[in-house]
Structure 1
Amino acid sequence: MHTLWKGALSFGLVHVPVKMFAATEEKDISMRYIHKACTTPMSYVRKCPTCDREVEWEEISRGYEYEPGRFVLFEKDELDSLAGEKSKEIKILDFVDLAEIDPIYFQKTYYLGPGDTGANAYSLLLESLRQTNKIGIAAVTIRSKGSLAAIRVIGNCLAMETIFYPDEIRPAQQVPNVPQEAKVNDKELTMAKMLIDQLTTPFDPSKYRDEYRAGLLEAIERKIAGEEIQVAPEAKRTNVIDLMAALQASLEAAKPVSVPTQPSDAAGDKPKAKRSSKAKAKEQVSS
């Protein structure tokens, strides 16, 4: 793994040297914009409309538009000094229960490995968090941007999850047409809860896959091979007006397949289980 950041994780007067690594990676398939007429990739140029010429990076500063057409300018060193990038410290402010943080706050996950020194302090913090079932709420600066973060344990590794500040979360009350009080039919509610119960299963991330990315990769390979891509017609969807009927149909579809048995033809014979069409199909596939 590539080290993104080196510094120290601190709580109280304890400093734990750590190295930061990205815990996730984007799997998006990169596409270029192409000029259809000549199939040339398009390029983007930093051009000043007033000077009518391309501008190099060293000529560029950052600016905030406080009124239309009026800006205050900042140089990189000014922004760095405000951000405190050179402190290189993840300072734990409080310890809380993970269940108290709504998932809407989480942004991006990083792994924190032990630094070149301080392995004992690293292990001490990790085991303390594990046994108390707590996480640390910390302040950190990454790439000149200050952020809150949650320090927790994943496996045998410390992890840091950057989280939004409270004023960055839009209130759910701003969503239009959300009912102030939920009013539901008791029978519909009972059936909906039964459906949820039937569809409830332990979380297994391996059963989920990015169908769009898999399909796009397949289409890329087919185009490289010179094949035409056939666009499947959009499946027709029926607007179900009867909510009870929809719930009942969903419950029937979610029921596990039962295996009926045949009665014994002769005394002493054991009843034979009738194979379902799904079982027959599986046998044909496996053979």
Structure 2
Amino acid sequence: MHTVWKGAISFGLVHVPVKMFSATEDKDISLRYIHKECGSPLSYVRKCPVCDKEVAWEEIGKGYEYEKGKFVLFDKEELDQLTEESSKSITILDFVDLTEIDPIYFQKTYYLSPDQAGSNAYRLLMEAMRQTGKIGIAKISIRSKSSLAAIRVLDECLAIETIFYPDEVRPVSQVPGLPEPGSVNDKELDMAKLLISQLSTPFEPAKYTDDYRQRMLDLITHKIAGEEFHIAPARQENNVIDLMAALQASIEAVQHIPSDPGPGLTGAKKGKTPAAGAGRKPAKTARSAPASAAGPAAVPVIVPKPKRRSPKTKETGS
């Protein structure tokens, strides 16, 4: 791993020298812009629109636009002085419970390892945090960017997660189109809760894959080999008309039970609590498309047809 930062954790009068390493990596497939006429990759040019010439890195400075077209300029030395004092220290301000931090605040995760002769202090801090169940809220400056951070124990390592400052998180009140507070249908709520319970499972990160990246790699492989490669069109999603019927059909699909379970079955697995309204026959629905590669947990979108009050219903194909 490449060291991205060196400094020390300080809490009280304790000083823990550490090195920082990125805990995650971006595996996005990078595509370049190509000139179609000759097949050459295009490059970005730093060009001054006034001087009409390319500008070398040594001629580039930094500035802040305080009015339209007006800038205040900074030398590299001035910017370095602003961060010099804080760039080598992770100062723990408080210890809190991890559950008190909403995930919206988290940015990027790094691993910390002891540096120089800091193994004893590193192990002491890690074990004290493990036994108290607390995490440290600290301030850190990485590449001239100051941010808050959460230090926690991850397996046998200290991990640090940069987090946004409160004024960097937009309030929910700015989100347009949110529904007004109100009550929901009790039967639909019971069905939705049952569906959530049926889809609930322990979190296993290894079972989730980047399907887009895999399809892109397959496409690249076929193109390199000069082979034709056809991508299946995405399944068209339809609007759900009857929410109760869609919930009932979704539960049945998760439980591997057909839409018409036959006499003696109510749409729930034997031995499980029936869903609200499951004792009556479900609304007549069109057959759903086959389940996707995501497995049985994938919930099909089902478009119910208008209800009929006839005592007998006959399911029709799509």
TM-score normalized by structure 2?
Answer: 0.79
Residue 228 of structure 1 deviates from its aligned partner by: 2.0
Aligned length in residues: 258
- Report the AA paired with residue 196 of structure 2: I
Shift >3 Å, 4+ stretches: 84-87
Q: Is the 8 A contact 1:11 1:93 kept in 2?
A: yes
- Report the AA paired with residue 5 of structure 2: W
2:3 is paired with a residue whose SS is coil
1:20 is paired with a residue whose SS is strand
2:65 is paired with a residue whose SS is strand
Instruction: Report Cα offsets for 1:172-225 as digits up to 9, x if no partner.
Output: 111111124143111000000000000000000010000000110011000000
Match of 2:113 in 1: 113
Aligned Cα RMSD in Å?
1.4
Q: Is the 8 A contact 1:90 1:139 kept in 2?
A: yes
Residue ranges of structure 2 left out of the alignment (5+ in a row): 259-318
Change (3 A) 1:85 1:221: farther
1:36 is paired with a residue whose SS is coil
Change (3 A) 1:247 1:69: same
Residue ranges of structure 1 left out of the alignment (5+ in a row): 259-287
Q: 2: CA distance between counterparts of 1:133 and 1:188?
A: 39
Q: 1: CA distance between counterparts of 2:75 and 2:152?
A: 36
Match of 2:77 in 1: 77
Residue 257 of structure 1 deviates from its aligned partner by: 6.6
Q: 2: CA distance between counterparts of 1:86 and 1:244?
A: 57
Q: Is the 8 A contact 1:7 1:89 kept in 2?
A: yes
Instruction: Report Cα offsets for 1:36-57 as digits up to 9, x if no partner.
Output: 0100000111000100111011
- Report the AA paired with residue 169 of structure 2: I
Q: Is the 8 A contact 1:93 1:139 kept in 2?
A: yes
Matches within 5 A, 1:66-215: 66-84=66-84, 87-215=87-215
Q: 2: CA distance between counterparts of 1:230 and 1:28?
A: 22
Higher RCO, Cα 8 Å, sep 6+: 1
2:247 is paired with a residue whose SS is helix
Residue 87 of structure 1 deviates from its aligned partner by: 4.4
- Report the AA paired with residue 233 of structure 1: P
Matches within 5 A, 1:228-247: 228-247=228-247
Q: 1: CA distance between counterparts of 2:246 and 2:87?
A: 58
Same amino acid, percent of matched pairs: 69
1:217 is paired with a residue whose SS is helix
Q: Is the 8 A contact 1:19 1:114 kept in 2?
A: yes
Structure with more helix by fraction: 1
Q: Is the 8 A contact 1:85 1:141 kept in 2?
A: no
Q: 1: CA distance between counterparts of 2:85 and 2:225?
A: 49
Q: 1: CA distance between counterparts of 2:249 and 2:105?
A: 37
Q: 2: CA distance between counterparts of 1:136 and 1:72?
A: 37
